[in-house]
Structure 1
Amino acid sequence: MRHAILITAYTDFFHLIDLTNSFNEDFDIYIHIDKNIYVSPICLKILQSFPRVKSAEQVFHVNWGGRKHVDAILWLCKQALSLSTDAEYFHLISGTDLLVKDLQQFCNFFDKRKGTNFLEYFLLPYQGWESGGLNRLQYKHPLDQLNIKELHDRNVYNRFVNWQITSRRTRPLPNYPIYGGSSWWSLTRDTVNYIYQNYNQNGWYDRLEDTFIPEEMFIQTLLLNSPLKESIVPYNLRYIQWEHKHGSIPAILDEEDIPKILHSCALFARKTDSRISKKLINYFNNNRSSNL
């Protein structure tokens, strides 16, 4: 079985090169690198030189929390559908993910589960999200125009959102169920093709303009309101710690997480940092190599 790996990247390009080199000839790799980020021509040339890498481009300026991340995902889907005509499964990961199973285990897992989609989802409102998550849609969040990692833009954004809240200026919600979940997934070719052909079903893509972190609702809501609903297992095969660690939420993983990852069913772990997670990365890189 052939697989397509879709990667959205924005940092730690040495790890990205290492991650790309984790896959063999059964995998085609597509990479979108945030256009806001400087990547050296040498690094980009190295990535594009790998035979498995079918595309590695900087197409969209992706501000954190904005809809451009959805655009980058759709671009990756289009590239993979067009170029990997024999790929049966598509896997969306970030450039800070780590492959934690050897490739034979990876391929065997999907050989035994053909036609099953793996996507975390839950119905909104959801108690694990602030205000149940519907505030992401009810208020305008102009994050494609404002980069809230910059102090000035963050202050402008906070004032604008607070003004909407205090003046009770809300947008109507769609008249169909809204679902949320992790951005990362493993889906069949037919499902990815359905996403690309129907991404604006009922105006859903349009409605995500000025929505907060729309990639955590886009795929879930589209698929859970589709004929493909029954094919979805609500687990995305990723090990993620939603807690503060090493200055990050989700946590930047380290060697203390190795036993928990090994006891999970995860195929990927995130997120990692090539310095902080060095022992963790080396452990799984060496373990995969010994099992091939």
Structure 2
Amino acid sequence: MKKNNNNKHAFMIMARDADINLRMLLKSLDHEDNDIYLHVDAKAGIIDTTGMVEKSSLKVCDRINVNWAAQSQVSAEMLLIKAVISENIEYKYIHLLSGNDLLIVDHDKFHNFFKNTNKQFVDIESIDEKINVRRIKYYFPLQELVGKKHGVLWMLQKVLMYLQIVVGVNRKTSLYNHIAKGANWFSITLNCGIFILNKEKEINKYFSKGQSADELFLQTILINSEYKNDIINNNQRYTKWNKGENSPEILTMNDLKSIEESNKLIARKFDYKVSSNIMKKLTETGVD
């Protein structure tokens, strides 16, 4: 029996550490209608979440080691979705955030935005781009170790990929009419989250050992499903990119005006070492 409170939202956070950046994010989210589900990379060791929130419910999920562009990213997301669904609460929306995000509007504005919609706010950057099809067509068994480094293991994995091309490996990408890629941060309805969780075996079969599959699996599953017409290609995140970079720019006070004019709900990426002033301002006042 579901606990019926359709005003509540579930925020799933994937954080690298329980640091000041996470504390500032939790401060921005702290509200009686916001339940928080937290995954902190197991590599961070023992964490203490005491006093991080006052009004929200905060649950720390089972923790695993998470590595860049690797299967563990997908696994951590699925752990969070599973934790949300297992609570049996009728959430209005579930949101995936990084530990370097901040809510940039007040809670009333945030909740009102989702009050009369059932759309899926998912970023879709490209569809059927050759490089992205390749990332799940072949296996990348060393990605957990490779990370962002272009060293010996990266070269070895590239050789393994070309060997797979030669012998004709194809992980049945024809199962999907389209392969879609986008940022892995999203806001989706509870029913959509349940739909994704019910696809877990399929996700493990066709996206496991992929490369950057965390940017492919949810978009691809949804665009090939009955949810395709419900997708709004705008995940309501403000992000600033430098062309050719793998990670977004760190936001500072110089970005405040752009954030205020963005009409977005959440922003990333913040780092307290250089973003302290803007983080303090946003968590104290939000964007009017």
TM-score (ref. length: structure 2): 0.86
Whole-angstrom distance in 1 between the partners of 2:121 and 2:215: 14
Whole-angstrom distance in 2 between the partners of 1:259 and 1:54: 32
Compute the displacement of 1:224 (Å).
0.9
Whole-angstrom distance in 1 between the partners of 2:18 and 2:272: 7
Task: Determine the structure 1 residue equivalent to 2:228.
Answer: 229
Residues 161-204 of structure 1: per-residue CA shift (max 9 Å, x gap):
1453378446325112111111000011111111111233xx34
Correspondence list, 1:132-151, <5 A: 132-143=131-142, 145-148=144-147
Residues 241-291 of structure 1: per-residue CA shift (max 9 Å, x gap):
22179x972111111111111111211111110111112112212223x97
Aligned pairs, how many?
277
State whether structure 2 residue 186 is matched by structure 1 residue 180: no
Task: Determine the structure 1 residue equivalent to 2:119.
Answer: 116
Quick one: which of 56, 61, 64 aligns to 2:60? 56
Task: Determine the structure 2 residue equivalent to 1:36.
Answer: 43
State whether structure 2 residue 266 is matched by structure 1 residue 268: yes
Compute the displacement of 1:59 (Å).
1.8
Compute the displacement of 1:10 (Å).
0.4
Task: Determine the structure 1 residue equivalent to 2:199.
Answer: 198
Correspondence list, 1:1-292, <5 A: 1-11=7-17, 13-22=19-28, 23-39=30-46, 41=47, 43-47=48-52, 50=54, 52-83=56-87, 85-113=89-117, 115-126=118-129, 132-143=131-142, 145-148=144-147, 154-165=151-162, 168-169=165-166, 171-172=169-170, 173-175=172-174, 176=176, 177-200=178-201, 203-243=202-242, 249-288=247-286
Whole-angstrom distance in 1 between the partners of 2:197 and 2:142: 23
Q: Is the contact made by 2:71 and 2:144 (CA closer than 8 Å) also made in structure 1?
A: no
- Identity rate, percent: 27
Residues 93-147 of structure 1: per-residue CA shift (max 9 Å, x gap):
001001111111101111132x111001144334xxxx54233224432245415
Whole-angstrom distance in 1 between the partners of 2:108 and 2:193: 23
Whole-angstrom distance in 2 between the partners of 1:167 and 1:73: 28
Whole-angstrom distance in 1 between the partners of 2:243 and 2:278: 18
When residues 143 and 64 of structure 1 are mapped into structure 2, their CA distance, relative to the original with a 3 A threshold, is farther
Compute the displacement of 1:217 (Å).
0.5
Whole-angstrom distance in 1 between the partners of 2:146 and 2:226: 37
Compute the displacement of 1:160 (Å).
2.5
When residues 248 and 218 of structure 1 are mapped into structure 2, their CA distance, relative to the original with a 3 A threshold, is closer
Letter in structure 2 aligned against 1:219 = L
Whole-angstrom distance in 1 between the partners of 2:199 and 2:128: 24
Compute the displacement of 1:82 (Å).
2.0
Unaligned runs of 5+ in 1: none
Q: Is the contact made by 2:180 and 2:219 (CA closer than 8 Å) also made in structure 1?
A: yes
Q: Is the contact made by 2:121 and 2:188 (CA closer than 8 Å) also made in structure 1?
A: yes
When residues 149 and 217 of structure 1 are mapped into structure 2, their CA distance, relative to the original with a 3 A threshold, is closer
Corresponding residue SS for 1:134: helix
Corresponding residue SS for 1:192: helix
Compute the displacement of 1:72 (Å).
1.0
Whole-angstrom distance in 2 between the partners of 1:45 and 1:148: 31
Whole-angstrom distance in 1 between the partners of 2:88 and 2:169: 40
Q: Is the contact made by 1:140 and 1:161 (CA closer than 8 Å) also made in structure 2?
A: no
CA RMSD of aligned residues (A): 2.5
Whole-angstrom distance in 2 between the partners of 1:148 and 1:249: 13
Q: Is the contact made by 1:66 and 1:212 (CA closer than 8 Å) also made in structure 2?
A: yes
TM-score (ref. length: structure 1): 0.85
